[in-house]
Amino acid sequence: MGRMIDLVRPDNPLLRHGEPPRFDLVEAAHVEAAIRDLIARQEAGCVALEGSLVPTWAGLVEPLRRLMEPLSFAWSVVSHLLSVRNSPELRTAHERVQGEVVTAGMRIGQSEPLYRGLMQLKGDGYVGLDPAQRRAVDASIRDAELSGIGLQGAARERFNALEIELSELGTRYSNQLLDATKAFALTLTNVADVAGLPASALAQAAASARAAGHADASAEHGPWRITLEIPLYLPFMEHAKRGDLRERLYRAYVTRAAAAPHDNGPLIERILAARREQARLLGFASYADLSLSIKMAQTAGEVEKLLAELRDAARPHAERDLAELTAFARGETGDPRLVLRHWDIGFWAERLRERRYGYDEEALRPYFALPRVLDGLFALARRLFGIDIHSTDGVVPVWHADVRFFQVHDERGQQIAAFYLDPYSRPAEKRGGAWMNVCLDRVRGSDGALRLPIAYLICNQSPPVDQTPSLMSFSEVETLFHEFGHGLQHMLTTVDHPEVAGINRVEWDAVELPSQFMENWCYHRPTLLSLAKHWQTGEALPDEVFTKLDAARTYRAGSQFLRQVYFSTLDIELHRLPDDGSVAGVVARVAAGNTVLPPLPEDRFLCGFSHIFAGGYAAGYYSYKWAEVLSADAFAAFEEAGLDDAEAVARTGRRFRDTVLALGGSRHPAEVFAAFRGRGPSTVALLRHNGLG
């Protein structure tokens, strides 16, 4: 240990915290020495604080923050680089210290002296603390309690054993799902077998065949290999004309990981039982109650009420969707008695979509050039929130030449935040998807000086080619708006305590409110038309294209809603199952009430539901729909004020900024929402926007 510390040079760029990272200097070789040094210092500081703490904000919470910041900052830079500038060296360095970083975090989270100090601060009536500080204290106490700190002796040991068992079960569940998914493949050699597949799907299927050893596979002549991985599975289900092959694939998909040697069935039973036991040890009646104790929805009853509203609204539409699709398929096939089965739905739904809304996604790209889309987005931010955004490339080091840096100013010209934008796909070194992450939190030091928040906005859109700028698809535009919404909540915070500033400590089911809220503006005609101009001719997006985009938004919304309600209900019910309850019984009951086309008798969908068995969504899958209710209802406040009334939009935008964006995690989200909306959330707007109202 000591030797590693000696090797840390003071100019190691990972040791500088609290300022924009030196991406021009950081290398994989810096990681191990810096992280081990910071862990050792944190550990020593923790021991000292445990012995000297005074149960006040300045005597406990602030020193704890100062103690943890150097390591958490360095680690966040390493993690960030791992996702945007990956390399074998960085991955190795990251793996070498990752376990030690996790252990160091647990050491603090489970420290009894720190916990007792926080409890005393609370017990003394939070003397001198504002509501944001109280929430920060409560959240730390709650974290410690949910990790079992209040348990003694045998109960504590049992809790820890369950914790370890659950983490192993989750890993086994996802490994078995992965193995089962890999174990199935349909290798097709006849052109007629792949009739209907678009060129991109044929190319992928041929690439999959090559990877499996068919060295001369080509998109044109095959062989084509279809697996249960979504990028191959989904296009086949949506486009392949061979119904019998779709059926084989579908049956394989819904029975994934449901039989030896990759049977997740027994793991599901054990995971549910272990969670149930943990919840009881902590004093909750069920695991659903435990999960909801840290969400915006506080009881299963609240979640069920929402799901019931959505179910009642969606069901008749889902029934109509099926009837309509059946009539369409009968017309197309000339078979008046045709009955659609599960493996037919995706195929016919795509045909009907093409018929109704047919526009070529690719043909829209020239209307969405990144520079103009950014101008339009920033102009919208000015109209809504009174902020100005300027490009200031070059003032800080970046991790790639394409990365941009922007500063955010308020109406008085005062800088309040900044963000990096890494827009383009770089498959060789950058993870897929899009996300917002925190670079620096807003914090006011004990000397009164303010440090401004900085965000990372990461997308994976098409890069520019030669003289052509990045031409975005409409869904890439929506993604940019979405991540920008997350970024706004981080950057426009007015909270000075980083523990609860910005997105920190925003409940899981409320965190998508600002992001989905921003997406709504992509369907606001004047906003979209202001940024959708042909990059060469300047010609506006044709009006009828906008109309189709807007109409396609509600296509089969009833069916999609009902499906999400089905999964959400199943998740909650399974996590309220009594000791002698039957998983199969719950599935049968919930399916009967929440599907239009009941699952096949052999359907074992739960064996592949990794969101709740191997991800973070246990008794939390409903969060998707919960946050959509909030974001749609927030947008409705602008509709009510009058979308064409610039002054009313600015007034409402200011209120959104002062509540949702400014308060972030410093208040309970129900309180924040009520401060913006003047009442609790309502499902009316979400249902109306989706044509279900």
State the catalytic residues.
Answer: 483
Q: Please pick, from the candidates 12, 437, 515, 568, the single residue that binds Zn ion as defined by CB under 5 A.
A: 515
Q: Does 291 bind Zn ion (CB under 5 A)?
A: no
Sole window of 158-166, 168-176, 194-202, 508-516 interacting with Zn ion (rule: CB under 5 A): 508-516
At closest approach, how far in Å is the CB of 436 from Zn ion? 7
Sole window of 33-41, 168-176, 513-521, 606-614 interacting with Zn ion (rule: CB under 5 A): 513-521
Q: Going by DSSP bridges, is the β-strand pair 443-444/435-440 parallel, antiparallel, or unpaired?
A: unpaired
Structure token digits, residue 532: 């959708």
The position carrying tokens 């252990």 is 103
Rg of the chain on CA atoms, in Å: 27
Specify the 3-state DSSP secondary structure of 450: strand
Residue 625 to residue 510: CA distance in whole angstroms: 10
Q: Which is nearer to Zn ion, 569 or 631 (CB)?
A: 631
Q: Which is nearer to Zn ion, 23 or 508 (CB)?
A: 508
Residue 281 to residue 368: CA distance in whole angstroms: 54
Q: Which is nearer to Zn ion, 278 or 515 (CB)?
A: 515
Return the half-sphere exposure (C-beta side, CA atoms, 13 A cut-off) of residue 617: 17
At closest approach, how far in Å is the CB of 287 from Zn ion? 25
At closest approach, how far in Å is the CB of 624 from Zn ion? 10
Distances (CA, A) of 554 to 248, 360, 369, 636, 681: 30, 18, 26, 17, 21
Q: Select the residue whose beta carbon is closest to Zn ion and give its number.
A: 515
At closest approach, how far in Å is the CB of 486 from Zn ion? 6
Q: Which is nearer to Zn ion, 480 or 500 (CB)?
A: 480
| DSSP H or E run through 169 | helix 153-183
Q: Which is nearer to Zn ion, 42 or 515 (CB)?
A: 515
DSSP state of 366: G
* Contacts with Zn ion, 232-271, as mask; x by CB under 5 A: ----------------------------------------
Long-range contacts of 520-526 (CB under 8 A, 24+ apart): 520/631, 520/632, 520/635, 520/689, 521/380, 521/481, 522/474, 522/477, 522/478, 522/481, 523/549, 523/550, 523/553, 524/643, 525/550, 526/643, 526/644
At closest approach, how far in Å is the CB of 8 from Zn ion? 37
* Alpha-carbon torsion, ordered 523, 526, 532, 537, to 10 deg: 150
Sole window of 219-227, 372-380, 511-519, 592-600 interacting with Zn ion (rule: CB under 5 A): 511-519
* Contacts with Zn ion, 460-499, as mask; x by CB under 5 A: ----------------------------------------
Residue 168 to residue 160: CA distance in whole angstroms: 13
605-644: which residues touch Zn ion (CB under 5 A)? none
Sole window of 40-48, 225-233, 248-256, 514-522 interacting with Zn ion (rule: CB under 5 A): 514-522
Q: Which is nearer to Zn ion, 297 or 518 (CB)?
A: 518
Q: Which is nearer to Zn ion, 289 or 478 (CB)?
A: 478
Sole window of 154-162, 273-281, 407-415, 510-518 interacting with Zn ion (rule: CB under 5 A): 510-518
At closest approach, how far in Å is the CB of 458 from Zn ion? 12
* Contacts with Zn ion, 352-381, as mask; x by CB under 5 A: ------------------------------
Q: Which is nearer to Zn ion, 33 or 518 (CB)?
A: 518
At closest approach, how far in Å is the CB of 435 from Zn ion? 8
Structure token digits, residue 481: 């708006």
Residue count, binding to Zn ion (CB under 5 A): 1
Sole window of 151-159, 376-384, 509-517, 633-641 interacting with Zn ion (rule: CB under 5 A): 509-517
The position carrying tokens 């095959």 is 222
Q: Which is nearer to Zn ion, 359 or 523 (CB)?
A: 523
Residue 121 to residue 66: CA distance in whole angstroms: 18
Residue 499 to residue 61: CA distance in whole angstroms: 9
At closest approach, how far in Å is the CB of 515 from Zn ion? 4
Query: What stretches of 534-642 show up as alpha helix (H) in DSSP?
Result: 543-552, 557-574, 583-594, 610-613, 623-641
Residue 314 to residue 693: CA distance in whole angstroms: 9
At closest approach, how far in Å is the CB of 488 from Zn ion? 12
Is residue 49 within 8 Å of residue 114, measured between CB atoms? yes
Is residue 11 within 8 Å of residue 66, measured between CB atoms? no
Sole window of 144-152, 389-397, 512-520, 670-678 interacting with Zn ion (rule: CB under 5 A): 512-520
At closest approach, how far in Å is the CB of 434 from Zn ion? 8
Is residue 54 within 8 Å of residue 94, measured between CB atoms? no
Is residue 498 within 8 Å of residue 658, measured between CB atoms? no
Q: Which is nearer to Zn ion, 496 or 512 (CB)?
A: 512
Residue of 551, 420, 439 lying closest to 498 (CA atoms): 439
| DSSP H or E run through 488 | helix 474-491
Residues that bind Zn ion (CB under 5 A): 515
